[in-house]
Structure 1
Amino acid sequence: MAKAYETTQPDRSEIDAMPGIVAVDFGTNWCGYCRSAEPDIATALAAHPDIRHIKVEDGPGRKLGRSFKVKLWPTVVFVKGGVELSRVVRPESEQEVSEALEQAARA
């Protein structure tokens, strides 16, 4: 994996206070779906260098993932000012991630 999912997580209030659009990428380093989707997520986000990408490890008892009601990995949630703009769950292509990015940018 190019960039590992971080085991330490920011608080939800920190995410909500970040300027601009933030892509919060939930998953785990051992998840096959996460490894498979990583290149598509990275490529789509590379076209938007103004969007901050935060990868956080999710799992039972992880408050940040629960605050976004994450059920499956990977889930990428696009947030601005504490408001969810869009999300993509288990993307199977770069196009799926790009569509969620475009939706977030229009919001």
Structure 2
Amino acid sequence: MSFDNHYTPESISPEELAHTQGPLLIEFGTNWCGFCQSAQRHIEAAMERHSGVEHVKVEDGKGRRLGRTLGVKLWPTLIFFRDGHEITRLIRPDNREDIETALAHIQDR
């Protein structure tokens, strides 16, 4: 699976999120955010070792329902889910190791 560098409008609702199965990483941010751009190399490197995790990049901002429902305030925010339940989150990650650790927590055992 190739790594997507662009955030897109919400493609999943809070209701749909609750019914997801397996490991899922939702990354909130914007394409113009400097913190988001800096984190991309770390996220991409971590995702290479966890290809079984679905990765959804959601463009966030004022009035965006999913981000508000999940309490996102800073970008990027990475929220790690397993079977529709939040397991952990990272805010403004600055290294691959922290992201890999979080991914390992949601990966199939």
Aligned to 1:79: 81
Contact 2:60 2:67 (C-alpha < 8 Å) held by counterparts: yes
Contact 1:34 1:74 (C-alpha < 8 Å) held by counterparts: yes
Once the 2 structures are TM-superposed, how far is the Cα of residue 102 of structure 1 from its aligned partner?
2.5
* Cα separation, 2, equivalents of 1:12 and 1:100: 21
Work out whether 1:14 is the aligned partner of 2:38: no
Higher helix share: 1
* Cα separation, 2, equivalents of 1:80 and 1:104: 5
* Cα separation, 1, equivalents of 2:73 and 2:46: 22
Q: What is the SS of the residue equivalent to 1:34?
A: helix
Normalising by structure 1, what TM-score?
Answer: 0.89
Normalising by structure 2, what TM-score?
Answer: 0.88
Once the 2 structures are TM-superposed, how far is the Cα of residue 106 of structure 1 from its aligned partner?
8.3
Amino acid at match of 1:41: I
Amino acid at match of 2:16: E
* Cα separation, 1, equivalents of 2:108 and 2:47: 16
Amino acid at match of 2:98: E
Q: What is the SS of the residue equivalent to 1:26?
A: strand
Between the two proteins, what is the percent identity of the paired residues?
Answer: 38
Q: What is the SS of the residue equivalent to 1:61?
A: coil
Once the 2 structures are TM-superposed, how far is the Cα of residue 17 of structure 1 from its aligned partner?
1.9
Amino acid at match of 2:99: V
| Equivalences, count | 107
* Cα separation, 2, equivalents of 1:91 and 1:8: 21
* Structure 1, gaps ≥5 residues long: none
Once the 2 structures are TM-superposed, how far is the Cα of residue 8 of structure 1 from its aligned partner?
3.6
Q: How does 1:21-100 map to 2 (within 5 A)?
A: 21-100=23-102
* Cα separation, 2, equivalents of 1:103 and 1:25: 16
* Cα separation, 1, equivalents of 2:68 and 2:10: 15
* Structure 2, gaps ≥5 residues long: none
Root-mean-square deviation (Å):
2.0
